[in-house]
Amino acid sequence: MSELIDKQAIALLISQLGLAMVTEVVEAFVPDAQQNVLFLQTHWQMDQSKTLRIKSHSLKSSSANIGFKQVSILAKNLEECCLSNSEHEFSKHLGDLEALSQVLEASINELALMGIAQRSL
């Protein structure tokens, strides 16, 4: 697996916003991302494709914005699956869906190792 987070994106955010603001952004992102992941995992079925696409898109975009590279890639795969609206495609992406929580958690931990995450994460 390639790197979990885009360290250059994080460094750019810190240079533009400052460490305190980036920490606040991450603290706001994490609960929302966790809710989106839980929703996707709980409701992953073809008849929910529009709602799932919206949740996947939101997770993809917000993850990319804060440098959560692998979370964004997995969410993009899920979003594209929802666009196909095919039962086969939904089954094919169960692995991405299952990996999403682990990759999100690992990304949060990597940020903590960089000194960005606060105690509430």
| pLDDT surpasses 60 at 119 | no
Tell me the C-alpha to C-alpha distance, in Å, between residue 91 and each of 23, 86, 97, 113.
Answer: 36, 9, 10, 35
Identify the pLDDT of residue 59: 97
| pLDDT surpasses 60 at 120 | no
On whether the CB atoms of residues 100 and 42 are closer than 8 A, the answer is no
Mean pLDDT of 92-104: 90
Assess if CATH 1.20.120.160 describes domain 7-113.
Answer: yes
Interatomic CA distance for residues 61 and 20, integer angstroms: 22
Phi-psi category of residue 115: left, alpha or beta, with phi > 0 → left and psi -120 to 50 → alpha: left
Identify the pLDDT of residue 121: 44
Domain parsing of the chain, residue ranges: 7-113
Interatomic CA distance for residues 106 and 116, integer angstroms: 14
pLDDT digits (tens, 9 = 90+) for 59-82: 999 999 999 999 999 999 999 988
